[in-house]
Amino acid sequence: MRYPHSRTLALSVVALTLASVAHASLYAKVTEARISANSVSGLQDHVGKSMDGLEVQQESDGSYVGTYHTLVSGDQFCLYLATSSDLKSGWTQRTTVDCNFASQGALRRLPDGRYLLAFEKNDTGHPYIQVRFYENLTALLGNSPLRTFNTPLVPGSDAQGTPNFRWIRYDGNPDTMTVELGFHYYRNGRDYNAIGFLRRFSQWDYYENTNLNGLLDAYVNGNMGDRTFIIYQGRPYTLIEGQGNLHDFPSFRLYLHDELANTLSQLPISTPNGNPGLGNASLSAVRDASGNLQLFMSMYVFGPPWVDTGSHVFVTSLGADDSTVNQTSTVTPPVNYVWDARNLPHAVGQWEPDGWSVYANVQGHMVYGPYESRLPFAPLRAWFYMLVDNSTANNDPLMNVDIYDATAGQIVASRVIRRGEFPGAYRWQWFHLDFDWRYRNGHQLETRVYTYGRSYIKLGQVLVRDGY
């Protein structure tokens, strides 16, 4: 999205866990947003502030807390927090989070009642993302974070923002947690979707979301924005806004990304008056006073030529069949699998006292297996401990390491390792490979090493640990 002009929009990317049948169910639920009986236009808090980009979480007593922004003057946005016992009315503004060009808030309640808040901030002329950790609801509403982190800009970019929470590895300690965020950055005249990782509230890295960017290119000639993440019946989806024509805000539309199938569908959503210009959407799974699961959707409606502009919210029942909605946060014990290379299955090579080796001119899988099926629903990292007899002859590719889903028959991740990556002859070196084991519950893992026969190679151990 272009900065700092006009109203920054962002649709919350909602990765929802769905089977293929549930895809049609979700598609139908979201497209019900034009039914006026279940929706409210022009939502405001108790002091009359427009609740644009409202994202909601539910407290243990059933009440709701939400973050939202309001344009107060020119290009200046303020970010607020409010509470209510009714999703469609009665919102009481509780605190101003930041009024120094802050917007696009994303809120997540952790299992122990602590909170994460991420938002876009533009007090430097180059928007960036700020992430905060709060000890409890009182600290959140008192605007007293325990931890704060400002993300550095993507190299060569002018701006980044519209954060959303995708995945959270959390064991009760913010100094050991990993937060996966969706966001976008602006570089060389266009927007790019990306995924970032905040580790221990001190380390940040990212990669471009090329799958999503490539699909949106077929529809979007303007800006892209915010996103929301939810787990629903085991399949991830992303709901995202895209602008059909640059500078034409009413040309924003909503799109549903099936992350596993890597397909994108434009949603035929409009307001009760037929306005299809929608953005800044978020989705939340919450329960009503009777304990029934509901889908809450908030979006910003653009005009003219339509009259129903501003914040628009919609609530619909998810029904009994949709009871497997999970939040993005999770508590997962540390992962630490260790396999001695000599004890793994082999297609080529021989046993040695300190590992499994393969001579030059021999090609094939020096290890595969171990067919482990107890891995957690999480991003993980594999480590391979290896050496070669010559690290300077050339920089030829020597081997390919990969993560293979033996149940699905799919390569999940792979990496080619070259001679020049080793520090010297007969010197052990660790090599890592990141992979995502979410949505592969109970599948059998293989950590494979295939040698091209260009060098003597020895493998000592293979590890799988907490991920990237």
Kindly report, residue by residue over 430-447, the tens digit of the pLDDT: 999 999 887 787 899 999
Distance CA 221, CA 3 (A): 16
Distance CA 244, CA 265 (A): 14
Residues 376-388 have pLDDT tens digits of 877 899 999 999 9
Residues 149-164 have pLDDT tens digits of 999 999 999 999 999 9
If one compares 211 and 47, the residue with the highest pLDDT of the two is 47
Judge residue 202's burial from the number of C-beta atoms within 10 Å of its C-beta, 0-12 exposed, 13-18 middle, 19 or more buried: exposed
Q: Which of 177-186, 309-318, 407-416, 447-456 has the lowest mean pLDDT?
A: 309-318
Confidence of residue 332 (pLDDT cuts 50, 70, 90): low
Q: How high is the pLDDT of residue 286? A: 85
Q: How high is the pLDDT of residue 22? A: 47
Q: Which of 68-82, 167-181, 278-292 has the lowest mean pLDDT?
A: 278-292
Tokens of 418: 């070259």
Distance CA 206, CA 209 (A): 9
If one compares 325 and 209, the residue with the highest pLDDT of the two is 209
Confidence of residue 141 (pLDDT cuts 50, 70, 90): very high
What mean pLDDT do residues 315-324 have? 64
What mean pLDDT do residues 344-358 have? 97
Torsion sign across C-alpha atoms 313, 314, 320, 325:
negative
Q: How high is the pLDDT of residue 306? A: 62
Confidence of residue 138 (pLDDT cuts 50, 70, 90): very high
Q: Which of 5-14, 60-69, 304-313 has the lowest mean pLDDT?
A: 5-14
User: Is residue 1 pLDDT above 50, yes or no?
Assistant: no
Strands 159-169 and 329-330: what pairing? Answer: parallel
CA 186 to chain centre: 18
Q: How high is the pLDDT of residue 274? A: 79
**What's the whole-model pTM score?**
0.78
User: Is residue 25 pLDDT above 80, yes or no?
Assistant: no
What mean pLDDT do residues 231-238 have? 72
What mean pLDDT do residues 409-425 have? 96
Residues 59-74 have pLDDT tens digits of 999 999 999 999 998 8
User: Is residue 5 pLDDT above 70, yes or no?
Assistant: no
Q: What is the mean pLDDT of the chain?
A: 87
- Best CA proximity match to 164, nearest among 276, 240, 223, 215: 240
- Best CA proximity match to 402, nearest among 443, 431, 438, 440: 431
What mean pLDDT do residues 379-402 have? 96
Domains annotated on the chain, with CATH: 20-330 (2.115.10.20), 336-466 (2.60.120.260)
